[in-house]
Amino acid sequence: MKPSAVESHWFVDFSSGIFYNTAVHDIDVICWLLGESAPDTIFSLGHAFCREMAAVKEPDSISVSMKFPSGAIASLDTSQHCNKSCDQRLEVHGTEGSLQMDNRNPLGISDHSTSAALCLQDTAERYRDAYRELLRHFLRTLRGRESPFFTKEQYLWTIQVAAAAEQSWRNGSAVDLRNEALDTTIIKTEVQ
């Protein structure tokens, strides 16, 4: 089911688009896995396959490449055209081995048909326990029992990286966070 033009406008206005609604979480995980606050260089490509998203000049599929101060290179691909449920994969390659996490599909089958999904979980089901623990952690921090897992500085860096990814997509060129001033007018949040 494709979103209508009204739904597309609502989605972009409410979520601030794919860079801030979807990619920001992958950026956060990548930075956390690498132990680095932000990449030095970011380059993004994107396209609106859905006519309604094209009308509001927002991509519905993106690819973001990032190079970090350590020399690590990360890439993420995200699309709002997941044909069934919640499709997520992660690969990490290092000097001492690799880690691969795929969807919960014991047969390893990719389903491109219109039949029932092989992986019947949606996002809420897949992350139910994680959401509960996150809420419990939040309540413990409010009560002073724990420090926040995610600091204000980490949040601001993640938003800045998402903004740089969007800037790269809009300008069609890499953004160098070491040497270029980020165009903060594109950041779609009220963080002060």
pLDDT score of 82: 54
pLDDT score of 6: 44
pLDDT tens track for 157-178: 899 999 999 999 999 999 999 8
pLDDT tens track for 51-70: 888 888 889 899 999 999 99
Residue 9 DSSP code: H
**CA nearest to 158, candidates 45, 72, 39:** 39
Contact 43, 168 (CB under 8 A): yes
Q: Considering only 59-68, 121-130, 144-153, which range has the smallest mean pLDDT?
A: 121-130
- Cα 192 to Cα 117, 170, 184, 188, distances in angstroms: 43, 23, 11, 12
Its pTM stands at 0.74
